[in-house]
Structure 1
Amino acid sequence: MPSAPLPPVPQKLREMLEDYPDCVQRLQESLGRYVGNPSCRDPFRGAILELQGTLEALSAEAGNELAAAEAAGDTGMIGSASKKGHQLFTAGWFVFEMVDMDDLWEYFRANKGAFK
């Protein structure tokens, strides 16, 4: 099986999460793990599911950050954690609805020989 380059984190997600490069990096790592061992007959759909799972984990972590900030009464951190949680939720919705995932789709179309 020919090896394919790593798939891109969709541009729309990178834009939405530009203030959270660690989140973009985690999404990239999850896509890299997925293409190393695709578990779905439809690799694009499998990658979407992988992104959804990673965004769910990141959202849960943001919720924990918010709870900790609220417990500490740190208004600055509350605002920051709340914004991060909102951005992750919105990003998750874009992935769920497969909005602006054209670059990821194109990756799988261009590298279809690597996923048979």
Structure 2
Amino acid sequence: MTHSPLPPVPKKLQELLHSYSGHIDRLQKQLNQVAEESRSASTKLEVATWMLQGQLEEFAREAKAELEAVEATKDADAIAGAREKELLMSRACWKHVWLGDEALCNYFQQN
């Protein structure tokens, strides 16, 4: 039985989130679900775009909550790390960073 390749997480997101492999895994799982649905390629790409945006917004909300929790500890190093993560997750939400990913577009056009 031949399996189709998995839809790729946009390269720019992989680069931004390289320190957060669990986040990349979550995005990959969402893309895999979109790929398995029986829809047209253009609809799948649209759904994948919405899904990525929603998941990235969730990452930003999680990072903000982590920052708020860490701020209560008054640990300067932990706060700095949480602020850096929140900024990174916010940047990942900017669609222009990843929206034109050719590999993702090609995947849904070819599969």
- TM-score > 0.5 by shorter chain: yes
Q: Distance in 1 between matches of 2:25 and 2:15?
A: 13
- Tell me, yes or no, if the aligned pair for 1:66 and 1:82 is still in contact at 8 Å: yes
- Structure 1 residues 85 and 103: alpha-carbon distance in aligned structure 2, compared to 1, 3 A threshold: same
Q: Structure 1 residue 5: deviation in Å? A: 2.7
Q: Structure 1 residue 79: deviation in Å? A: 1.3
The letter of the residue matching 2:108 is F
Q: Distance in 2 between matches of 1:58 and 1:72?
A: 22
Structure 2 matches for 1:2-17, cutoff 5 A? 4-17=4-17
Q: Distance in 2 between matches of 1:8 and 1:95?
A: 17
Equivalence for 1:58: 59
The letter of the residue matching 2:76 is T
- Tell me, yes or no, if the aligned pair for 2:8 and 2:103 is still in contact at 8 Å: yes
The CA deviation string for residues 24-64 of structure 1, in whole angstroms up to 9 with x for no partner, is 11111111122223678621111010001111111111111
Equivalence for 1:73: 74
- Tell me, yes or no, if the aligned pair for 2:13 and 2:98 is still in contact at 8 Å: no
Are 1:91 and 2:71 matched, yes or no?
A: no
Equivalence for 1:18: 18
Structure 1 gaps of 5+ residues are 112-116
- Tell me, yes or no, if the aligned pair for 1:48 and 1:95 is still in contact at 8 Å: no
The letter of the residue matching 2:110 is A
- Structure 1 residues 107 and 63: alpha-carbon distance in aligned structure 2, compared to 1, 3 A threshold: same
The CA deviation string for residues 94-116 of structure 1, in whole angstroms up to 9 with x for no partner, is 368724x11100111111xxxxx
The alignment's TM-score, normalised by the length of structure 1, stands at: 0.81
Give me the identity figure in percent: 35
User: How many residues are paired up?
Assistant: 109
The alignment's TM-score, normalised by the length of structure 2, stands at: 0.84
- Structure 1 residues 96 and 19: alpha-carbon distance in aligned structure 2, compared to 1, 3 A threshold: closer
Q: Structure 1 residue 69: deviation in Å? A: 0.5
